[in-house]
Every structure is written in C-alpha cells, then in structure tokens.
Chains A and B, each alone.
Chain A
Amino acid sequence: MSVLTKIKQAKLVGRGGACFPTGEKWSMVMEAKGKKKYVICNAAEGEPGILKDGFIIDNYPERVVDGIKLALDFLGAKKGIIYINHKYYKKYKKKLLNVIGKSPIDFFKKPINSGYIGGEESSILNAIEGRRIEPRLRPPFPVTSGLWNCLTLINNVETLYNVSLVNSGEFADKRFYTINGDCMHTGVFSYPDNWTIAKILKETKNIVKFPFFVQIGGDASGIVLNNKQLKRQVDGAGSITVYSIAKHKPKDLIKKWLYFFLNETCGQCTPCREGVYRLLEIIKSPEPDWQLFKDLLINLHDSSFCGLGCVVPIPIESFIRNVLVDIPKSKKKLFNSNDIHEVCSCYK
C-alpha cells in the first residue's frame, strides 16, 4: 500500500489550521505536470497561543523528518526545506540535523520581521524567493506553481508527523492541543481528535471555577465560545485558551485582536489594510458607529485578498455573539466595565 493510500484511508487533514485533506493535496502535486518538485515543512508556528509544532520537533524529530522523506520519495521531489522560525532553529537545529543526516533537506530561517503573515503558505514561497513577504494571488496554487514556479507541497510539522505515523501503521487518530490562558495546567497535550473541549479541559484538570470563556484554534484567529458551548471538538488549529471574564474588559480584548491584525497585515488589499485601521479608529472613538464597525467586519470576510483578512472578524464577532450578547443582566457586573451595551448594540 502506498503512503498516499494510507494517508487517504486515515483521512488525514492538515494541522496548520486550515484542515485541508492531506491526501488531496498530495494527489494534486503528484498529478500536476512538471519535473521539479519541492517539499516544504512549515515550522513557522506564528499563531499566538500555539506551541505544538515546537513540542513535536523537540520530542519527535525523527517522525517529522521521516514524514518529509516520505513526501520526497513519494513525489520524486529533489529537495525538502524546513521553513522554521528563529527561536526553534536555535533550539532544535542540532537535534534535527542529527536525524536528517545526508538526506536532501535544508533549513530556511523565517525572516525576522516577517510576522504572522510570514507563516502563510504563499508568503513562505515569496520569502524563500527573496520577494516581498506577502501572499500571492491565487490561482495558481503552490501545488501547481509554487517555489520558483515548480510544483510544491507545503505541509505543517504535525501533518508530516502524522504521515510518518500513518505509514508505520501507528497513527491513533490523536492530535496535539496547546492549552493556555487563565487556567492552572498549561502546555501541549496529546488526545484523541474527536474529544470535546469540555473533555480535554476536564482531563487536564483545567475546569476553572470562575466565570470564563474559551478561544479555540489560535489566540488571534480562533473562534470564541462561552462555557455552554464546550461540547464540541476543537476546529482549526490545535489550541484552547481559557479567559477569565473578570480579567478581560470587552473593548480592550477586541482592541487587542485588532492591534494584532493591524501590526500583521501585509497591506496589499483594501478591506484589511484600510478596514482594520478604521475598525480601531471606530472602537477608540468616544461615540463609535457600531453599524459601520459591523460592516467593516463583514467586508473583511467577503472581499479580503487572503486568509488573514478573512479571519479578522472571527474572534471579534464570536466574542460578541457568544459571550457578550447573551450575558444575563445579573452577570454584566462581572465584566468590570460599561462597554457591553455599546458593543452589543450592533449584534442584537
């Protein structure tokens, strides 16, 4: 049985956050026309609140390298590149080199000021090619026209780790979860991929006693859920962050997300470059136009150039809808501020 068949049978999905079916991506590269192929292992780990890729490299470097080699062999690719952030390069270079040995796998250090967008697929291609580090217009996709216009497979560290497990028949339908925030036991844990958030928090003894909400799938782009919505699996990237309601003022939290995206936007497209700036302008003004605020968020979802713009509304809207809007009057004091009514008015 070929490794691709095993991947498809195991129904592997990408673990970089987008959950794209791994078998489908590998098939596309295999079927595309072109002799020269590249395999890139994305070890940028730029999403705040996610530490699992560093954990995997630290504890299972052989599995990661094995996954890369399997991809190289299966696709007939000449070279593998580990695109890795500076911190991980420093910490794990030696470990990885020991495992890589004579295999045709090189490192490419994620450029220092490339930020969040420097971990996005097509931005990685631009970084390696020495171009401006920002997303490319797609189509074409990297699978048909990637690095130096060659066919390119880009997979996350955990995805390649899973490929290695699947190949040796040891994949157990588990995934890694990073737990952060205002809870006791933070860190990276491995559990079945169908466990609910509630179960994971229980298992890690992280069911907190104070009023809280969670954000899953990354601290910047992840969806926010209240404590009644925990009977579901973790979507997207593998993280659960616990927020104590008392510690986070709504407007400040929303501003925090907006400042993050303002800092990280590549600036190519209007809805993101201009929209995020104007969202901050609105929320900082004494009498915010909440309808315009909402319209700018919808615009980001509807017309952004890339995935970054599309995720900007996710934490903000889910926080307002799931946490703020349905808060009973009695609990409004908990938020420690007068912002709630204002912020909610556009989502009622």
Chain B
Amino acid sequence: MKKIKIKINDKTIECFPDKTIMEVAKENEIFIPGFCGHPDFPPKGNCRVCVVEIKGHDKLAISCQKKVQAGMEIFTNTDRVKKARNLNIELLFAEHIEKCPTCIWRVNCRLLDYAEKYKIEITRFSERKAKRKTYKFANAVEIDGSQCIDCRNCLDACNMMQKINYLELKGKGLNQEIVPVKDKKVDCIYCGQCAVHCPVGAAQEQTNWEAVEKLLKKKSKVIVAQFAPSIRVSIGEEFSLPYGKIMTGKIVAGLRALGFNYIFDVNFGADITTIVEAEELLERVKISPSMPSITRGGKKRVGLPMMTSCCPAWVKYVEFYNPELIPNLTTARSPHIHSGGAIKTFWAESMNIKPKDIIVVSVMPCTAKKFEISRPELKIKGEAPVDYVLTTREFAWLMKKNEIDFKNLKSKPADNPLGEYSGAAAIYGGSGGVMESALRTANAMICKTSKICAPKLEFKEVRGLDGIKEASMDIGRRKLKVAVVNGIGNIKPVIENLDNYDYIEVMACPGGCIGGGGQPIPTDNETRQKRIEALYKIDKGQDVRRAHENKGVQEMMKWLRGQKGDLEHKVLHTKYKKRK
C-alpha cells in the first residue's frame, strides 16, 4: 500500500490510507481524547469526544472512525473542536456520580484527567443517574449504573468478545441501562472483562482493599501476602513504566511497606499445581487405552480430555453451562489455593503459628478469584486457604493511597520457604503456560521411568495470543493431542470436538491471566503481548525450569504426603458441582 500525504494542525504527515485519523494522530504524538473506543472492539462512535474539524466538511468528524484520505486537512484543536469536545466531556461527567474518595480508579481516571487537562467545569449540570442501581455479580464484579456513561464497552466485552451474553441494554433513549439478562440459562462467570474495558470504573471489581487495610492496621493476626505470576509483568504500567517491565522485587518491597508480615510468591503454588496436574494427566492417559474416540470403536474415554481448572471463570462456566464436563476437569486446585493451603498447614506448623491466626491475601490479575476463595469445599480443617483477593488495580491503589513510591523502592526477595519458583511457574500467567508447565513435568516423568526419550523443555506451539492453539506432543511413546484456548468466546469449536484432544487448557480471559479482569487499564493486544513476552523472559532466566525440580516444593510435598489422614487430599485436590 502506498503512503499518502495529509495535514494535521497544518503539519504535513505521511501515512497509510487505511488508517483512522486517531491512529495517524497517535503515531505522530498528537493526542486526541475519547472514551468509547477500545482497540479490542470496532469503533462505536457514541461518546463524540474524539471530534476533529476537517477542512471542507460541514460537521465535525469522529477521529476514531473517520479514515484518512489523500490531501485531507485536519484540525484537532480549533475553537469549534474545543467547544464540542469539552461540552461532551462535561455532559458525560454529569452521568457519572463521583465517588472519588473511595474509588480505586481515582489515581488513573480518564474523566478527572480530561477535566483537568481541558479545564472543564464539572458542576454546571446536575447528576442525572443518582437513582440508578448497582448490579453485583457474586462477590466478584459489580456494575454501578450511577457512574455509567453509556459507552457500551462492557456489552462488547461480554457479548461480542466473551460470547457469554449476560449483559444487555434495556430501555430506550435517556433511560437506557446496562442490566443482566433475565434468561435463567445464562449466568455471569466473573471474568471481569467488563471491568477491564470500562473507561470510567462503573464496571469494576468488588473491592476488598478496605478490609485488608483494616487488618493491616489492627495487627492482631499474622498477615501473609502472596502475588500471582502476572502481577510482576503488569504492575509497572500503573506507575507509567514501560509495558512488560519485571517488578518482582519491588512488589515484595511494596507489600512489606504496606505492613504485611510475610510475603510469598504464588509461583511456588504454581509449581505445586503443575506436579499434581501432571501426575493426574499421566494417570488418566494410562487408564484410557490408546486414545480411542467416543465415536470410533465406541470405547468411552474416562476423564479425557483432561481440562485445566486453575481459571475460576472457566470452572464456573463448566459448572453452569457444561456440567457434564465436570469429570474432565483436573481435581488439582489452583496455584494460590495450593500455596495458601501450604501456608496454613506446612508453614504454620514450621512457624508454630495457629492456622486461625493467619490471614492470607492473594494479589491477583483476576476478579473470578474473589469468587473462587468463597467456595466452601476449599476449606482445610475449617480454615479457608486464602482469605482475601486483591486485584492488581487494588494493589496499585493501596501503594498510591499510602504514598509508597513504588518505582523507587529497593527490590527485595520474597520470604522463604514459599518464595522459590521454577521457570515453568513463571509462565502460568500467559495462555499456554499451564499446558507447557504440565508437559515439561509430565514429559520428564515419563522419560525418567521409560528411559526412551530425552526430556523436552520448551513447547513453543502452545504459546501466544491466538484464541485456539492446537498441537500434537510426544509424551514417551504416545502422541498427546492438546488444545489451548484463551478468551472464553473461543471455546465452542473445542467443546464440540472434544474427541480430538487429550488435554485442554482454558483461560477465560484473552491472552490468559495477564489479560485478566483485574489487570491495569488499558489491557489490549499491545499490553498483552508485552506482558506475555516478559513472562517467558523470566522463565529463561530461572536456574530451575521444571516444577518438580523446585526444592522447596519437594520438601513441602514430602511433608504433606507424610501427614496422617486426608490432609494431602484436602490441600491438593478439590471437587466441583453443577450450578443453576
């Protein structure tokens, strides 16, 4: 495609003809504000804030949708543009009741930023949505109608992208409202993609930072923090650092500064998950005679294909939409539940602390994890393995609220024994990470016992942002057919062809956990890509690359497997149930 010449604010610019004015402006560092656009979705053009003036055109154009043409002369800051842009921002502000004092988005708020930048009067119009409802989804996500600016990104996320179709627009004109559908066959899976696409924090996580802050102040219990694989490659964005910067040490320091007594790494838990899951995979693959499908030969495959269960949104999806697949889910718990369980048993004993005196707080990129920890079947001797989940955004908020200069903290290592991890754990945050981690261990286990193969370390075919990835892996003598799905909207073709696979990883969020509902905003393909790349960088830098070679985990498992009764089972495994 040949480049064309246009002018923006009297400056001549060369660009490709298939781009929008906003894209070309961004390439040339000319800023144009907007609310309703998101790189994940086609332009909606409803906020009318990104307007520009084009010479020869009677009306203003929206730069998010209008494509450039040769010879076009565009102006982004004329009086006419300023008037329309500012008035539209002011009108939108009047749709959003300010709850700034307790709003975690206050430190990163587009409405406040634009109001300041363009010196907009925000008190000329009365609040019009004071009486709107807040819709809560379990204890995980909520949509506050009194703050909604009608941009429809949550609809695009839930319907177009995730294909759950749980949200709809009810009512006409001024009265339109985002509501959950009344269909009893549809339910929310708590993935939080609505929240991570909302430009004004109307759709957001149900927060727990207030309770955690209170406990930290009270100091009456031992408060332990642990943080997910994804946090370390994303948190920097909340402090204007480049995408994909690895911040592990500063996260530990930051949590310490907040007052947590001990800080562990969920990557340790991920290594536990890999071991348990790889063992289960090998067991199920052995039971089933050489991979017949249900249609061929008529022999039923027991528990195959096996499916990952560390994504709580995916588990909710199975329990509600496809309960017949519950036997296929691995019985392994998820990483932070594994490490939480280790903390309240193995670690508690070693430290001589009573489990009931320990509070475990997980920092997660995920909103569904808030729902996960409320599952009663996870309790170990009456104690929940994890007590609170804070999203990445809540954690960043706590840093800023408490004026902790995150960027300039001195890096610190996590505490032992639950601070060590393998490269296989590090990659859990990206789509394909759980799969690759399990395959590294399963492959090594088989090669060790059968002695017929050299253990393979990297499984590059399952990496990347593609919605569905398929591969055929040699595990000893057998060919294991695997699929990796990210973005629950992509699940259908895989569910309809289960016979084609032996092992499936499903992450409800596009990109995997690094694209999770609790992640920094914006989350789009550029940030997803950079975050994932950083994870594989961490992996390559680790001495230990396979989960089962983590010495700390080996020690913990040895202790656990030596315990009397069903403690091992309680800490490592879980069960699921059909939900209506």
Write the residues of chain A forming the contact surface with B, with a CB cutoff of 8 angstroms: 113, 115, 132, 137, 262-271, 273-275, 277-278, 281, 289, 292, 295-296, 298-299, 301-305, 310
Contact = CB atoms under 8 A, between A and B. Distances in A.
B59 A301 contact: yes
A299 B92 contact: no
Given A278-B91, A295-B87, A299-B87, A269 B126 contact: no
B204 to A, nearest CB: 22
B46 A262 contact: no
A274 B172 contact: no
Given A299-B83, A299-B87, A270 B48 contact: yes
B91 A267 contact: no
A310 B59 contact: yes
A264 B172 CA distance: 8
Given A269-B46, A273-B150, A305-B45, A132 B169 contact: yes
B94 interface: yes
Size range of the interface on B?
Answer: 20 to 34
A137 B44 contact: yes
A268 B51 CA distance: 16
B59 A137 contact: no
B47 A270 contact: yes
Given A277-B174, A278-B91, A278-B125, A302 B46 contact: no
B125 A263 contact: no
B296 to A, nearest CB: 39
B83 A137 contact: no
B173 A269 contact: no
B46 A305 contact: yes
Given A265-B174, A298-B83, A270 B92 contact: yes
Contacts of A274: 91-92, 94-95, 128
A310 B46 CA distance: 14
B203 to A, nearest CB: 18
5 contacts: A264-B173, A270-B47, A270-B48, A270-B150, A303-B59
B87 A296 contact: yes
B173 A263 contact: yes
Contacts of A113: 172
B59 A267 contact: no
Given A274-B91, A281-B126, A295-B87, A302 B150 contact: no
Most chain B CB within 10 A, of A137, A265, A298, A299, is at A299
B500 interface: no
A269 to B, nearest CB: 5
A214 to B, nearest CB: 25
A289 B45 CA distance: 29
A208 B48 CA distance: 44
Contacts of A267: 150, 172-176
Contacts of B80: 302
B60 interface: yes
A310 B95 CA distance: 22
A296 B88 CA distance: 9
B108 interface: no
A318 to B, nearest CB: 17
Contacts of B173: 262-267, 273
A45 B80 CA distance: 35
B84 A303 contact: yes
Nearest to B176: A267
B85 to A, nearest CB: 8
B172 A302 contact: no
Contact of A302 (B43, B84, B128, B175): B84
A174 to B, nearest CB: 30
A29 to B, nearest CB: 22
A137 B43 contact: yes
A326 B22 CA distance: 44
B49 interface: yes
Nearest to A296: B87
A275 B88 CA distance: 8
Interface in B45-95: 45-49, 51, 59-60, 62, 65, 80, 83-84, 87-88, 91-92, 94-95
A137 B48 CA distance: 12
Interface string B167-201: 00100111110000000000000000000000000
B165 to A, nearest CB: 14
Given A265-B174, A273-B150, A275-B91, A295 B169 contact: no
